[in-house]
Structure 1
């Protein structure tokens, strides 16, 4: 078996780039995902200046994205006695990261769609009867699908908070 040697900085850089691309596929900005990857790859916190230097982003961009990562509960802010700087530390538990991402996406994406679909289902539509029936069937099917996605998200949240289930899934896979 060939062992590939690589410096930590190179590995970290590859991880940051890949996580950034993945994040933009999930609907978050590349910058936010890169900052998250950088903080994930460090066991201790980094200051705004250190983040700026590592990912080559402006202070405003870093501040905006770090605030958003805090809102997603993926990063926390910490102060160190005797330091004027704030440090930002990523949540490192993979199950908690996945759970927080699922909950935030549910809140931001599924819940607004569910509310809209419920509003459309309750509306008294006027127009061509055939088109109304088609539209109502579509809305009903989408509503059922969104409900199933919410149920799946809720189930995954319950599984992620149950250590026995986490071990069971890991053993199965």
Structure 2
């Protein structure tokens, strides 16, 4: 396999992983392309490389910027916008965890707390309230783990994980 084939496979792989994580395939593929590119790319270059429409490219570029996974890069003398990806894969993982927590986990934790605020009278109601409470506690603990990962330095986290095994 040569470099070009490996790069194309990486983009496809990242796109497939993205869909497994609930991220649009095009968004993950744009991210992979920018991760694998040494130079900043314009929207037109992204469209040409991935064979996506301008609206699809623009929508997903904006989403990647919102997630702080890519940045605009100004090139002197150019009027086009160019984009680069955060290359530190640890930082990428931390940013994804942070954004997923903000968008998905935090609202679930709030909602579980609200759902369990009813007065339980019957055996069935008490069991259901216990289920909600246990699920709320588990979600909070998982959120705490995410917080630890976000705050950890890469090397210290890896040492911590390796020590645990």
TM exceeding 0.5? yes
2:90–2:154 contact (8 Å) kept in structure 1: no
2:149–2:157 contact (8 Å) kept in structure 1: no
State yes or no: 1:84 paired with 2:75.
no
When the two structures are superposed, what TM-score results if normalisation uses the length of structure 2?
0.92
Query: What is the SS of the residue equivalent to 2:116?
Result: helix
How large is the RMSD of aligned CA atoms in angstroms?
1.9
1:168 alignment partner in structure 2: 159
Number of aligned pairs? 164
State yes or no: 1:98 paired with 2:93.
yes
Q: Return the offset for 1:168.
A: 3.1
Query: Following TM superposition, where does structure 1 have runs of at least 4 consecutive aligned residues deviating by more than 4 angstroms?
Result: 169-173
**2:135 counterpart (139, 142, 157):** 142
For residues 170 and 147 of structure 1, do their structure 2 counterparts lie closer, same or farther at Cα, with a shift above 3 Å needed?
closer
Q: Deviations over 1:23-60 (max 9, x none)?
A: 11011011110010000000221000000011110000
Q: Deviations over 1:99-145 (max 9, x none)?
A: 000000000110000110111122346xx712211210110011011
State yes or no: 1:13 paired with 2:8.
yes
1:72 alignment partner in structure 2: 67
When the two structures are superposed, what TM-score results if normalisation uses the length of structure 1?
0.88
Question: Within 5 A, what are the aligned runs for 1:19-98?
Answer: 19-98=14-93
Gaps of 5+ in 2: none
Query: What is the SS of the residue equivalent to 2:76?
Result: coil
Gaps of 5+ in 1: 1-5
Give the Cα separation in 1 of the matches to 2:138 and 2:154.
29
